[in-house]
């Protein structure tokens, strides 16, 4: 019987395992399906990682390396090339690797499976079905780890960070990136990436546009049709632009990977596609915690690692029987906030502050984020210069302000 099993050895899993080890858990296992630790960081060869956590700018592999080095100094058990087939509510996992099939049990589980990319099917892009259409992350792996050339004349659909990073990558590798096409009137990526990945190389960004047809010649992409869309995302007639290209990269969002969670009857939030969590990153199943992109899509690996620490501390408290709470309250939202993480809060708790993160579904200028208790009183306010969908917004609520709350708190935004 393990004290803790962590599923996934990316930034979330490694950070969680290390924290649990530092806090004194003895028997810790990390299960990873890839042949090495590091997860997606291994293919994110660009820099920009670690500024919050390590106070220096690191590339993905360097960031992962910091955790991997530390892990190697511990007796944390790492099982590579191992697939978790099933997780159940009693904290058993069923795994498969070259040694065969095994059932393993733990006092606590941390889910750190990350997310996967949305594909062409998810947005039903019409057209031919030839070669040359990749998700941006798959192309990134082919290029950065396997060393394949992905294409020469590229159109990127979606302006998520991975797509932007790939625009720069492919340009540096000698490909011509002809356009980045975004259906929303705003970019889904960080502003610095628009600057250093598109503008640095004069790659045009078409906002409020989408690909409405993909044409192939000899089973390879040869042309895309790009059309303008209106506010309701309907294509505008006669706005078509033809772009000759051989490659389409899709950077159209990520989906938390929760097949295992669902099988363990963990409640999933349809808004985040991740488990409903408490302030301590615990799921609806006691003793099963989660962190990182399996919960919600984060902007930064640094924040993933920090969230993982929180989950690990809570898992330690659970294993060591140090829990204090007796009841729970809900965190509700008003438009244009799409969701919050956590969705629920245990009370009473020892912590002084509760971090709440959320995204909005529209761009707001100068505004105030307000938290209201169930009696309708505003209990705290957070002024902001702007709030944009591309950036995960964070507030922290002093626990003293909600300690007597019995039902729920609501978060909303008022524009100035």
- Judged by CB under 8 A, the stretch of 23-31, 186-194, 218-226, 365-373 that binds another protein is 186-194
Least Å distance between CB 172 and another protein? 4
| Alpha-carbon dihedral sign for residues 336, 305, 53, 163 | negative
173 binds another protein (CB under 8 A): yes
Residues 32-51 that bind another protein (CB under 8 A): 35-36, 42, 45-48, 51
Per-residue string for binding with another protein, 6-25, x by CB under 8 A?
--------------------
Q: Which is nearer to another protein, 170 or 250 (CB)?
A: 170
First-last CA distance in the chain? 55
Cα–Cα distance measured from residue 52 to residue 389, given in angstroms and rounded to the nearest whole number = 21
56 binds another protein (CB under 8 A): no
DSSP state at residue 366: S
Least Å distance between CB 174 and another protein? 7
382 binds another protein (CB under 8 A): no
Q: Which is nearer to another protein, 22 or 34 (CB)?
A: 34
174 binds another protein (CB under 8 A): yes
Q: Which is nearer to another protein, 47 or 374 (CB)?
A: 47
81 binds another protein (CB under 8 A): no
235 binds another protein (CB under 8 A): no
Q: Which is nearer to another protein, 87 or 387 (CB)?
A: 387
Q: Which of 22, 23, 27, 62 contacts another protein by CB under 8 A?
A: 62
CA-based R_g, the chain, Å: 22
195 binds another protein (CB under 8 A): yes
- Alpha helices by DSSP H, 23-135: 60-72, 120-123
Q: Which is nearer to another protein, 141 or 370 (CB)?
A: 141
Per-residue string for binding with another protein, 132-171, x by CB under 8 A?
-----------xxxxx---------------------x-x
103 binds another protein (CB under 8 A): no
Residues 286-345 that bind another protein (CB under 8 A): 299-300
Taking CA atoms, 5 is separated from 51, 110, 311, in Å, by 29, 6, 12
57 binds another protein (CB under 8 A): yes
Size of the site for another protein (CB under 8 A): 34
Tokens standing for residue 78: 């790492």
**Residues that bind another protein in the complex, under the rule CB under 8 A:** 35-36, 42, 45-48, 51, 57, 59-62, 64-65, 143-147, 169, 171-174, 190-192, 194-196, 200, 299-300
């Amino acid at each position: 019987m393990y004290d803790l099993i962590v599923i996934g050895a990316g930034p979330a899993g490694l950070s969680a395992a290390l924290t649990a080890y530092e806090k004194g858990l003895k028997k810790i296992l990390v299960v990873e399906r890839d042949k090495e630790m590091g997860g997606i960081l291994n293919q994110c060869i660009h820099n920009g990682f670690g500024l919050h956590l390590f106070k220096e700018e690191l590339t993905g592999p360097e960031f992962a390396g910091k955790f991997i080095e530390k892990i190697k100094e511990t007796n944390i058990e790492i099982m590579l090339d191992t697939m978790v087939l099933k997780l159940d509510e009693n904290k058993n996992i069923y795994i498969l690797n070259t040694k065969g099939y095994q059932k393993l049990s733990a006092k606590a589980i941390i889910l750190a499976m990350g997310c996967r990319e949305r594909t062409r099917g998810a947005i039903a892009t019409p057209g031919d079905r030839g070669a040359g259409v990749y998700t941006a992350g798959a192309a990134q792996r082919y290029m950065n780890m396997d060393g394949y050339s992905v294409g020469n004349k590229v159109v990127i659909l979606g302006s998520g960070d991975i797509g932007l990073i790939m625009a720069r990558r492919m340009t540096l590798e000698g490909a011509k990136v002809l356009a980045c096409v975004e259906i929303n009137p705003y970019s889904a990526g960080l502003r610095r990436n628009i600057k250093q990945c598109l503008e640095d190389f004069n790659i045009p960004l078409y906002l409020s546009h989408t690909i409405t047809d993909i044409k192939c010649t000899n089973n390879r992409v040869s042309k895309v049709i790009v059309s303008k869309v209106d506010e309701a995302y309907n294509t505008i007639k006669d706005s078509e632009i033809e772009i000759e290209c051989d490659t389409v990269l899709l950077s159209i969002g990520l989906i938390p990977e929760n097949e295992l969670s669902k099988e363990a009857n963990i409640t999933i939030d349809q808004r985040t596609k991740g488990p409903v969590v408490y302030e301590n990153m615990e799921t609806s199943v006691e003793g099963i915690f989660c962190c990182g992109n399996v919960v919600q899509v984060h902007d930064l690996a640094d924040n993933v690692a920090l969230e993982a620490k929180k989950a690990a501390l809570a898992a330690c408290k659970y294993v060591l029987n140090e829990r204090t709470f007796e009841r729970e309250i809900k965190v509700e939202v008003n438009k244009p906030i799409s969701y919050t993480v956590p969705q629920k809060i245990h009370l009473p708790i020892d912590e002084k502050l509760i971090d709440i993160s959320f995204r909005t579904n529209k761009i707001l200028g100068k505004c105030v984020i307000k938290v209201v208790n169930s009696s309708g009183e505003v209990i705290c306010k957070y002024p902001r210069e702007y709030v944009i969908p591309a950036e995960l917004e964070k507030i922290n609520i002093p626990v003293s302000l909600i300690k007597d709350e019995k039902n729920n708190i609501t978060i909303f935004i008022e524009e100035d």
